[in-house]
Each structure stands twice: as C-alpha cells, then as structure tokens.
Structure 1
Amino acid sequence: MVIKKIFNNNAILAKDTNRHEFVVMGCGIAFKKNVGDKVDESLIEKTFILKHKDASEKFKLLLEDVPTEHVSLCYDIIEYAKNILGVELNDYIYVTLTDHISYAIKMFDENIKNSNVLIWEIKKFYQKEFAIGVKALEFIESELGKRLPEDEAGNIALHLINAQVNNSTSKVEDIAHQTKMVQDILNIVKYTYNITLDENSLNYERFVTHLRFFFQRLNKKQIIESEDDFLLKQVKSKYKKAYECMLKIEKYLEMTLSEEEQLYLTIHIQRVTQR
C-alpha cells in the first residue's frame, strides 16, 4: 500500500497493489512522508472504504476542510451506530454526518444555538436513533471536552435515519418533514376522538410504524393497490368513525389514497383508539 495523497500528518489517501483507493488515518502516518512512499501499516488506526464513487470523492474534499479529530470522531460514532442498529448505512453518512458534526462544533464554539423544532417527535418516533445521538454527544464531550445541546442528538438521529439503506434516496429534510406529518396525523386522530393515545401500547407503535413505511412508499411511488374493495366496504360499515378519520387524514395529505391504503389506515386508527 502506497501514499497517493497527503491530507495532513494523520490522514492520507492510499492505494493497494490492485489500485483500490482507501482513506487511511493514524497518528503521524504521513509524518515526513511523500506521495509514492510505502504506508507504515502498523500506524493505521482507521480505514474508510467507500464503495460509492461520488461519496468517496466528496469525502476526500471534506478531509481538506474538516479537522482530522472530527473525522475520526464521526468514524467512531458511525461504527457504534452500525453495531446498535444492525443495519447497513449508506456511504454518504461519512460525508453528511461528518460535515454536520464539524459545523455543529463550530457553531458551539461561536455560541450560536441551532434549535431542532422536531426534537420531541424524534425522541418519540425514532428512539433507537435518538439514543445513538445522545451517545454521540458523550463521544464528542469525551474527545473534545464540549457538551453539545440535546437538539444535536436529534439532528444526528435524522442523519442516521436518512442513511439507513431503505431511506437512501431520501434527504434529511424529507425525513424531518415526514416526522412532522406523522405527528400531524396523530393529532388528527386525537382531536377526532377527543382522546389521549396510549403511546406505550403495541397498537400505537404499530400505527406509527405503518405511517413511517407509508411515507416511504409515497416517496418511492410504491402505493399498494387492490382489485377487491370488499374488505374496505366491510370496514367502512363496521368502523364508521375510524373511516371518517381516515378521510380527514386523506384531506390533510391532499391526495386520494388507494383502497388498500385506506383499508390499512382505517384499521390502524380503529385499533389505536380502542382502550
């Protein structure tokens, strides 16, 4: 493995005998080294293998502007997130999260607050990702001695949600918008029935999960269709109030849902509103 480019004393772009490129980090790995020199592999601490070419190129550009310790810190956060979530994350997470956290640290240093208006919803709907965000704040404090506000745990969570492979075509802004829409729909249900929903119930969890995947289907234009409206007619007759509530949600969404989507949504509303 030889050095192809030096970013700083602790970060280089290296290539192996098969001409594969890797971003490699390690304390003093490029000290007194030149392009073309052999890499001292005993000094390697972190290796970034980004399969997506565009993500790889943007990551290299990022390394020229972002402090090495921020890049290293985000690597640890991402590896921790992978282990906890047990899912594959899109390569872009190394670019987007590193860029965001580095900027958040800069904002913190300048005493500029960056509020997250969706913090409450993120805590509730994406508990696992938010918990990782909180842990990330601990990583940052441990490494840099800076305790970023809880709002940043929510921002980190949004990046993790976005980076999960099923959401790889979405943007962080889309995920934030979807989270707000889930809350709006829950409010429609609460106000229609004039009740407080049991957020600890299994039916509540199923309803929120259904809504999250429903918005994913909307994004990917994968709306469920059905040629048989018999079940919907039965449900419409049996659960009139739930069906009326579903129509309010449909109006809020400003779209006509397929009969199958109407059916599932009505059933979930019926279940979540029952004691």
Structure 2
Amino acid sequence: MLVVNRVYNNNTVLVDVGRKDQAIIQGKGVGFQKRHGDNVSPTRVERIFYLNTDEAKQRFGTLLKDVPIDITMTGFAIIEMAKKEFHYPVLDYIYVTLTDHISQTYKHLIAGKYEKSTVPDIRDRYPTEYAIADKAVSMINHDLNVHFPKDSAKAIALHFINARGSENPEQEKTEDQEDFGKGVNQIVQSVFKEYGITRNITNQNYFDRLMIHLQYLVQRISTNEQDNRALNQSIESDFQKIYPKSYRIANEICDKIQARLQINLNNNELVYFVIHIQRLIQER
C-alpha cells in the first residue's frame, strides 16, 4: 500500500512504502485532493522512484531546494531510461548535475535567452550517449511542454559521458577510468563551489567545453598518456601574471587531483585548465 507523505502537485506525490521506505510517484491526478495519510492505488502510478537509501533521500532533497519537482522528476526519468533501455551504468552524481543542467536550460528557454551550443559534436565517438540524449530531449519536451532544440542533446550527452560508471559493480575501481572520472569531477565541482563558479547563460558554452576537456583528461590519466607536447616555457608564467585568479583556481584543482588520485600532472594540464577557467570567469 502507498500512503501519502507529501503532495507536490496533482501529478506527483511522495509516498511511504512499508514502514521505512519512501518513493516518489507520478501519474495523472495521482495527488488530486490527497492529504497526508491517504492511500494511493498502485494502478494509478505511471512512474515510481524509490528513495530507499539515505543518499537517495539527500540527493532528492538537495535538488528540490532549487529545482521544480516536475523538472527533477524528468531528470530522474531520463537517467532511469538510460539504465533500463540502454543498460548504461552511471555514477550517482549525475542525478544532481543532469537535473540542474535541464533546469538551467529550461529557464533560459522560457526567458528567451537560450544560445545554441558551440560544443563540437562527438556523436561518432559516443553513439550510445548521443542516442540517450536524443531521447532525453524528446522526454523533456513531452513532460515539460517545452521545446528544447535538437542541439541541446550535445550537452546532455556530455553529462552521461562524464558520469559513466562501471558495468560490473564488483570490479575493483581504485585505478579504473570510472573512479578517476568521479574523483576529477568531484574535485572540480568542489573548487568551483569554493569560488562561486557556476554554469550560467553567459558561460554555458565554455562550461560544456570544459566537460569535454575533463573527459579527455580522465582518459589520459587512466591510460597514463598525458599530453607531452612542449609548450613555450614562458606561457605558464605569463598566464600567472595576466590571469592570477584563473591560475590560482587551476593550480588548486591540479594540486587536489594529484593529491587525491596519487598521480602527477604535467604543466600542459595546468595551462589547459587556466584557459578553460579564464573563459568561464572572463577575468579582466
């Protein structure tokens, strides 16, 4: 039996399942005139997302502080679609990053400020991720009654590329690419949060380019094939003088990646981070 805990709107309800578990259910009119403690018939449920771990509950609660419930549920539905239909393994942080991305893009569209993505199309290299993203755009447009342009699939695909998990949960992860990917993304996000750097309408294209860079960085780290092309020796020092804030942020990211993942990054990687961060914050 599903017992109403909280009604978000006529179509979305938080329910208690048994004594301890909770779930978010969706269905046409499933919350209409329902109150706390009322029962809901399972036959009316079209989607259900179980919040049976503390992490799942915290993730959902975090999103609801800034993201409308309908957008949150659409983001969750897209991820579940990727898992079930494409058998695509993901790391848990995608629930937050992808849903936040959908919310920001939605706001830009409604405000008439959406800008076509300039991120290069890498569909040939990641056909599965792009297939997921194409279907995600259709789901968004249907569920939210909005029109995400076709090119918006590129940024969605990047979220899946960066959050790809291990297909074998028993596999040792300490040195595999998935573990590196999660570690690198967490470090970058934590440093960005410290400096108040977020994806917005002004820097969205540069932010998406950074995501591509992170994907290639993870590949280089996991295969021990960093870019060793010689750069002009004065470039790093020049960047430090011209863009002190970008250099400081990039240096902090590189230091934390090296310390946490027990690896060595060469100066090229630092310079690349400075370039990307400079574009993001447009330091003068």
Question: Is 1:139 equivalent to 2:139 in the alignment?
Answer: yes
Q: Cα gap change, 1:39/1:249 in structure 2, threshold over 3 Å: closer, same or farther?
A: farther
Contact 1:70 1:101 in 2 (8 A): yes
TM-score (norm 1): 0.58
Contact 2:184 2:214 survives alignment (8 Å): no
In the alignment, is the contact (CA less than 8 A) between 1:52 and 1:91 conserved in 2? Answer: no
Q: Which amino acid aligns with 1:171?
A: N
Say yes or no: does 1:37 pair with 2:38: yes
Label 1:93 to 1:47 Cα distance change in 2 as closer, same or farther (>3 A): farther
Matched residue of 2:39: which SS?
coil
Q: Which amino acid aligns with 1:152?
A: S
Post-superposition CA distance 1:56-115 (Å, at most 9, x none): 223245347645543444344323322454233234433332332132122112221245
Q: Whole-Å Cα distance in 1 between the matches of residues 160 and 151 of structure 2?
A: 15
1:222-261 equivalence runs, <5 A? 247-248=228-229, 254=266
- Give the unaligned 5+ runs of structure 1: 184-210, 225-244, 257-275
Q: Residue in 1 aligned with 2:219?
A: 213
Describe how 1:1-275 pairs up with structure 2 within 5 A. Answer: 1-50=2-51, 53-60=54-61, 62-63=63-64, 66-120=67-121, 122-143=122-143, 146-165=146-165, 166=178, 167-171=181-185, 176-177=209-210, 179-180=212-213, 213-215=219-221, 217=222, 247-248=228-229, 254=266
- C-alpha separation in 1, matches of 2:93 and 2:215: 26
Distance 2:73 2:101 in 1: 14
Seen in structure 2, the aligned counterparts of structure 1 residues 46 and 35 have a Cα distance that, compared at 3 Å, is same
Structure 2's unaligned 5+ residue stretches are: 166-177, 190-207, 234-264, 269-284
Rounded to whole Å, the distance in 1 between the matches of 2:38 and 2:108 is 38
Question: 8 Å contact 1:14–1:23 — kept in the other structure?
Answer: yes
Distance 1:141 1:10, change over 3 A: closer
Q: Distance in 1 between matches of 2:14 and 2:151?
A: 34
**Pair 1:79–1:54, CA change in 2 (3 A):** closer
The one-letter amino acid of 2:219's match is F
1:79 & 1:137 partners in 2: Cα distance? 14
Greater helix fraction, Structure 1 or Structure 2: 1
RMSD between aligned alpha carbons? 3.8
- Between the aligned partners of 2:63 and 2:112, the Cα distance in structure 1 is 23
TM-score by length of structure 2 reads: 0.57
Does the 8 A contact of 2:133 with 2:154 survive in 1?
Answer: yes
Q: For 1:29 and 1:182, how far apart are their aligned partners in 2?
A: 41
Runs (4+) of structure 1 exceeding 6 A deviation are: 172-175, 249-252
